[in-house]
Amino acid sequence: MTDLLNALVHLTSMLIIPGLAYGSQLALGALGVTLIFGVLRFSSFAHAEGLSMATAITILFTIWLQGMGLSAGVLPTALLGMVLAMPVMALVFIGTDRALYRHFRRINARPEVFMIVSAGVMLMMNGVIRLVIGADGRDFEDGERFIVTARGFRDWSGLAEPLVLKTSQVLTIGIAALATVALFWFLNRTQAGRSMRAYADNRNLALLSGVDPDRIVRLTWIIAAVLSVLAGVLFGLDKGYRPFVYQQLLLPMFAAAVVGGLGSPVGAIVGSMIVAFSELALTFAWKKALAYVLPAAWAPQGMVQALSTEYKFAVSFLILVIVLLVRPAGLFGKVAR
Amino acid sequence: MSRTPLLFAAMAAVLLAVGLLQSWQLALTILNLCLISAVMALGVNVQWGVAGMFNVGTMGSAAVGGLAVVLVSTPPVRAAWAAGGGGLLATGAVLLATAGLAALLWRRMGDRSLLRGPAVGAIVLLGLAVSQRWFLPATAAIESVDAASTGYLGGLGLPVALSWIIGGLLAAAVAWPIGRLTAGLRSDYLAVATFGISEIILAVLRNEEWLARGVKNVTGLPRPVPFEADLQAAPWAQHLAAWLGWSGRDTASVLVKLFYAAWFLAVLLVIWWALERLARAPWGRMMRAVRDNEEAARAMGKDVARRHLQAFVLGSAIVGIGGAMLVTLDGQFTAGSYQPLRFTFLIWVMVIIGGSGNHKGAILGAFLIWFVWVQAETAGLWLAATAAAALSPENPVRLALEEGPAQLRYVVMGLILVLVMRFAPRGLIPETTPETPR
């Protein structure tokens, strides 16, 4: 019985909670990818840099707030910085759209053209981020780091395995859940959200019904900005801010969005969880957990790890390929056009 | 079209100016990388410009080409083969058997589609698990053979120039299955898939140390040109140095760079000539038809997926040749140095600027963009130094300015890309359709 509890605690602490946190961060990013795809009809290569830039701006605001002597108490100050960063990021996105994407929408350019332009935006954002904050990242989490510490839990429970619960993980899961609920409420229950879905579904029909396309595009970018700030900052609080690591988020986010079906918000969330848990489960060393559950004679010798952690990205990609081969429209997508 | 020679002449003049004003060594360094970039740009141009495929996995092909240099030209490490060669062969056999079994099962179970996926998946997983039994000890043994200097299987010890051809073939061999999987996909999916594959190729190259030492790098690769020290000792080079009035070292270094440039120029010209021939051949016309109107081409009986696959493999092979030449020029294979920004998106910028679909344009774009890429830093440094001179040494703005220029070039590249897309989407030398032969 104790062994089983130990195994459960070990898995919860090392696999389930980190997986939920990572999945939530990916989901916030993938929701942005999928919304941009749904409304604007292209996959934005700049999205990972968008997350990175949102985090960089938040860090600057956080430093400024800390300099003013403001803090959020036990919570990270970045939560306040985040609120300030959202309008800035929205302006960045809308500005980019005005300067670039709008022109290509007007001339009805092919999706490849949008992708190339978004690659240009990616290069520019990348350079600006490095100019502003330097190529090496920084940690910006302050306040109380742990809700449940390893030692505290061990003393309380008497189990051999510790349960660790970081503030950033709880914040991530909570904020992601709230943001998702708010987003679905917006998309399904408000006039603006409904017009947005109508526009994504059938552009011409929506235009005929009097939907203002400029307003829809603006709204999409604002939502994408809010989601990017949330995703980027929560990821940064959890794992530290490194511009290079943020670039590598592009693939898992794309994979999550494609797995769920590009353009489907529910799909983006489910896809993110699939990607996050597959990545962790396949690169997780199961030895300890199995040793608790199996009889002593069967205890595994090796690490019982399907893939070394360096191949994390291979997992998201493998899932992507399988879905593209078996069900190209994704789990929740409509038939690919 | 008198514009093309004019633009190329301007490019040559700019490079000459660098030679006269800065140094000939810098000018030749830039020229060599321009030539290599031009080869890679031609590869991307075959895929995007000619076939209209949005492949953003260029980095993977370039890295595979670079790997070929290691596999072909380095001396074999016999101790490593003895230690782990058998184990690797066993692994290969198990994987081959697994693949065969999986393929067979996939064909046979065509009528039971629900069971098919899980069954094949289970076979593949089982095969992987079984192969680990030989793979792990074998690689561990190989990596422990003189780990500080080798710890990998080594190559074949063949001449390095041969590895450029092998690099192309290897890149093509890697591209073929990828193309089979992805060539039918919509452009967004193709982009995401190829982007992912290139990351995976790099992950393998970084981590599989038995193959090419991973991030520990393979240095001191053989070169197709003489060493500077030997040239310095050669009488004819000494005469040349005396005649030019340069030091022996400068002369030797310039000569070596010139030799490299001759090699690269020869390769570039051969590839360019072949591609121009192809563009005028029926194949080229068919490709343009497929690109410009897929539906119509399909209706005329053209096998669009097959044509896409051809262009994909051909383009990847050319990029692979470029990647191999780059590693040869560097004299080392550094798996950690491959980044999508530099090896995928920068090449894309070159093709777009030059004029997609036009091979001359791609070459010009490569020259221009590589030049800007290198000189943006110089210009940025000068600007920063000028602007920072007025500020005190501890001023944070000044510190940021001095660190900035290296990052500035990403902004410049992105800006150039979007400006061209916005105002001159057909590039500097727009595509001209060759006249049909009579």
Residue B413 sits in a domain whose CATH number is 1.10.3470
Q: How far is CA A146 from the centre of its chain?
A: 22
B189 and B204 part of one domain: yes
Q: How many Å lie between the alpha carbon of B92 and the closest alpha carbon of chain A?
A: 18
Say how far apart CA A119 and CA B424 lie, in whole Å: 17
Per-residue pLDDT at A300:
72
- How far CA B234 is from CA of A3, B24, B147, in Å, comes to 76, 21, 37
Q: How many Å lie between the alpha carbon of A337 and the closest alpha carbon of chain B?
A: 8
- The residue range of the domain holding B121 is 78-150
* Nearest CB to A310 within list B182, B203, B352: B203
In this prediction, what percent of chain B has a pLDDT beyond 90? 31
Token pair recorded at residue A227: 């989601």
Give the confidence band of B391 by pLDDT, cuts at 50, 70, 90.
Answer: low
Range in A37-41, B59-63, B273-277, B405-409 with the lowest mean pLDDT: B405-409
Whether B182 contacts chain A with CB within 8 A: yes
CB B333 within 8 Å of CB B212: yes
pLDDT reading at B390 higher than 70: no
Question: What's the mean pLDDT in B66-80?
Answer: 88
Q: Which of B132, B150, B168 is the last residue of a domain?
A: B150
CATH classification (class only), A2-326: mainly alpha
Amino acid at B192: V
pLDDT reading at B437 higher than 60: no
B121 and B206 part of one domain: no
Per-residue pLDDT at A136:
72
Buried b (16+ CB within 10 A) or exposed e, B354-371: bbbbbbbbbbbbbbbbbb
B29 and B163 part of one domain: yes
Closest C-alpha among B67, B65, B120 to residue B98:
B120
Whether B200 contacts chain A with CB within 8 A: yes
pLDDT reading at A336 higher than 50: no
Does the distance separating the beta carbons of A250 and B418 come in below 8 Å? no
* Nearest CB to A116 within list B196, B352, B415: B352
Closest C-alpha among B279, B267, B364, B282 to residue B323:
B267
Range in A48-57, A117-126, B233-242 with the lowest mean pLDDT: B233-242
Does the distance separating the beta carbons of A113 and B418 come in below 8 Å? no
- How far CA A236 is from CA of A21, A88, B58, in Å, comes to 12, 18, 29
* Nearest CB to A127 within list B203, B407, B421: B407
Q: How many Å lie between the alpha carbon of B74 and the closest alpha carbon of chain A?
A: 26
A19-28, A281-290, B105-114, B184-193, range with greatest mean pLDDT: A19-28
B130 and B253 part of one domain: no
Does the distance separating the beta carbons of A42 and B421 come in below 8 Å? no
CB A262 within 8 Å of CB A334: no
Question: What's the mean pLDDT in A171-190?
Answer: 93
What is the tally of structural domains in chain B?
Answer: 2
Say how far apart CA A274 and CA B324 lie, in whole Å: 38
Per-residue pLDDT at A141:
78
* Nearest CB to A308 within list B192, B207, B418: B207
Q: How many Å lie between the alpha carbon of A251 and the closest alpha carbon of chain B?
A: 6
Please indicate, yes or no, if residue B432 is contained in any of the structural domains: no
Mutation site for B-interface testing, chosen from A102, A123, A304, A315 by largest number of B Cβ within 10 Å: A123
Closest C-alpha among A225, A193, A210 to residue A83:
A225
Site of tokens 């929506």? A206
- Chain length of chain A: 337
**Residues in A touching B192 (Cβ below 8 Å):** 43, 251, 254-255, 258, 320
B115 and B163 part of one domain: no
Does the distance separating the beta carbons of A254 and B200 come in below 8 Å? no
pLDDT reading at B394 higher than 70: no
Say how far apart CA A221 and CA A265 lie, in whole Å: 15
Per-residue pLDDT at A337:
40
B348 and B282 part of one domain: yes
Say how far apart CA A203 and CA A197 lie, in whole Å: 10
The radius of gyration of chain B's CA atoms, rounded to the nearest angstrom, is 24
Per-residue pLDDT at A288:
79
Closest C-alpha among A35, A16, A71, A28 to residue A177:
A28
Q: How many CB pairs under 8 A join A and B?
A: 137
Q: Which of B119, B135, B150 is the last residue of a domain?
A: B150
pLDDT reading at B369 higher than 70: yes
B277 and B333 part of one domain: yes
Please indicate, yes or no, if residue B72 is contained in any of the structural domains: yes
Per-residue pLDDT at A247:
86
B142 and B115 part of one domain: yes
Please indicate, yes or no, if residue B175 is contained in any of the structural domains: yes
Range in A49-58, A311-320, B160-169, B332-341 with the lowest mean pLDDT: A311-320
B182 and B306 part of one domain: yes
**Residues in A touching B410 (Cβ below 8 Å):** 123-124, 126-127, 130
Say how far apart CA B28 and CA B262 lie, in whole Å: 11
Residue A264 φ then ψ, to 5°: -105, 115
* Nearest CB to B345 within list A123, A248, A321: A123
Does the distance separating the beta carbons of A128 and B200 come in below 8 Å? no
Q: How many Å lie between the alpha carbon of A178 and the closest alpha carbon of chain B?
A: 29
Please indicate, yes or no, if residue B323 is contained in any of the structural domains: yes
User: What's the pTM?
Assistant: 0.88
Say how far apart CA A76 and CA B278 lie, in whole Å: 61
3-state secondary structure of B218: strand
- Report which of residues B149 and B405 the model is more confident about: B149
Does the distance separating the beta carbons of B52 and A120 come in below 8 Å? no
Question: What's the mean pLDDT in A245-265?
Answer: 89
pLDDT reading at A31 higher than 90: yes
Does the distance separating the beta carbons of B411 and A128 come in below 8 Å? yes
Per-residue pLDDT at A203:
85
Please indicate, yes or no, if residue B436 is contained in any of the structural domains: no
HEC secondary structure over chain A: CHHHHHHHHHHHHHHHHHHHHHHHHHHHHHHHHHHHHHHHCCCCCCHHHHHHHHHHHHHHHHHHHHHCCCCECCECCHHHHHHHHHHHHHHHHHHHHHHHHHHHHHCCCCHHHHHHHHHHHHHHHHHHHHHHHCCCCECCCCCCCEEECHHHHHHHHCCCCCCCEEHHHHHHHHHHHHHHHHHHHHHHHCHHHHHHHHHHHCHHHHHHCCCCHHHHHHHHHHHHHHHHHHHHHHHHHHHCECHHHHHCCHHHHHHHHHHHCCCCHHHHHHHHHHHHHHHHHHCCCCHHHHHHHCCHHHCCCCCCCCCCHHHHHHHHHHHHHHHHHHCCCCCCCCCCC
pLDDT reading at B404 higher than 70: no
**Residues in B touching A110 (Cβ below 8 Å):** 187
Q: Which of B122, B150, B178 is the last residue of a domain?
A: B150
CB A101 within 8 Å of CB A40: yes
* Nearest CB to A126 within list B188, B341, B421: B341
Per-residue pLDDT at B397:
62
**Residues in A touching B188 (Cβ below 8 Å):** 37, 42-43, 111, 115, 262
Question: What's the mean pLDDT in B48-53?
Answer: 88
Q: Which residues contact B312 (CB under 8 A, 6 or more apart)?
A: B47, B51, B53, B55, B175, B178, B179, B183
Rounded to two decimals, the ipTM of the complex is: 0.88
User: Residue B196's closest chain A neighbor by CA?
Assistant: A317
Closest C-alpha among B172, B95, B81 to residue B133:
B95
Say how far apart CA B209 and CA B148 lie, in whole Å: 12
pLDDT reading at B288 higher than 80: yes
Q: Which residues contact A143 (CB under 8 A, 6 or more apart)?
A: A71, A72, A73, A74, A75, A76, A77, A167
Taking only residues 381 to 420 of chain B, the set having a beta carbon closer than 8 angstroms to any beta carbon of chain A reads: 400, 403-404, 407-415, 417-418
pLDDT reading at A314 higher than 90: no
CB B153 within 8 Å of CB B74: no
pLDDT reading at A49 higher than 90: yes
Does the distance separating the beta carbons of A120 and B200 come in below 8 Å? no
- Report which of residues B308 and A162 the model is more confident about: B308
* Nearest CB to A124 within list B403, B411, B425: B411
